[in-house]
Amino acid sequence: MVTFIGTGLLGSGFARASLKKGRETGVWNRTLDKAAALGKEGAKVFPAVADAVKGAAFVHLVLSDDDAVESVLKEILPVLPQGVPVVDHTTTSVAGAKRRTAALAEVGVFYQHAPVFMAPLNALESTGVMLLSGDKTRHEKLSSHLTPMTGKLVYLGADTGRAAAMKLAGNLMLMAITTGLADAAAFLKAVDVPPQELENLFEHFNPGASVQPRTKRMLSGKYENPSWELRMSRKDARLILAEAAGHEPALASVPNYAAIMDRFIEQGFADHDWTVVGREAAL
């Protein structure tokens, strides 16, 4: 039996995928109603989390945060069968992932943090990305079980907190993109263009294609020979701010970008590539 502890949107997707593959699947959720719906689809629903792990070959945690993980571990560890892997897909702090991995290794518990970049549909369709780091032997032992659950299983090295760090970095990028989209929509609204036109723009212009080359440029530390001068990107920020001034909703991110650009221009980087604004973090 494969047990999923936590049956929110992601956990229920994992559980349904397991059922589709014909595996005996156990589920538990602190709010029983969310787990009960899976019972109608063939899952074994456990009212007590300790009972959910007793007959499991694999235990998957799909919870909200560090506190939820710690709370569940406290309940299941006394009854967890020896050697049963606990795979934790929860997005947690880096420090928490490191601390739990070390503490559980000391008492002989097979624990692996494995956060994911998945929407519920990805979990259901076994697509998306799953990240692992830490002891490579654990990755090797789990690979055959985890690979069918995801589109890509990525091992990031021996640092036990690396997967947690990269998951949060990826989520930070998603937050920045979404905030940027909100600002772009607000700007169009300010200049009397329907914000829905963003969809048309992105049919022709894919800003995502610039992420990898700009990341490489920023991390290289080589900002001479610019593809876009910092002074020119700041000019565009000035135009955007001027057009949107006095309109609602106010732009959330552009004023911060502009202030950062101004600081680097004052430091003498006006003629450098605009990725120089990441210089302090990159070097």
Which residue type does 80 have? L
| C-alpha span between 176 and 198 (Å, rounded) | 17
**In this structure, are 84 and 103 located in the same domain?**
yes
**In this structure, are 146 and 73 located in the same domain?**
yes
**In this structure, are 14 and 144 located in the same domain?**
yes
**In this structure, are 124 and 148 located in the same domain?**
yes
The mean per-residue pLDDT over the stretch 200-227 comes to 95
Per the prediction, the chain carries an average pLDDT of 96
**89 band by pLDDT with thresholds 50, 70 and 90:** very high
How many domains is the chain built from? 2
pLDDT at 134: 97
Domain residues for 118?
Answer: 2-159
Q: Which of 159, 180, 204 is the last residue of a domain?
A: 159
**In this structure, are 206 and 138 located in the same domain?**
no
pLDDT at 283: 80
**In this structure, are 116 and 180 located in the same domain?**
no
CATH number at residue 189: 1.10.1040.10
Give SS3 for 116.
Answer: strand
Q: At residue 33, does pLDDT exceed 90? A: no
pLDDT at 18: 97
Q: At residue 183, does pLDDT exceed 90? A: yes
Q: What angle do CA 96, 97, 101 make, to 5 degrees?
A: 115
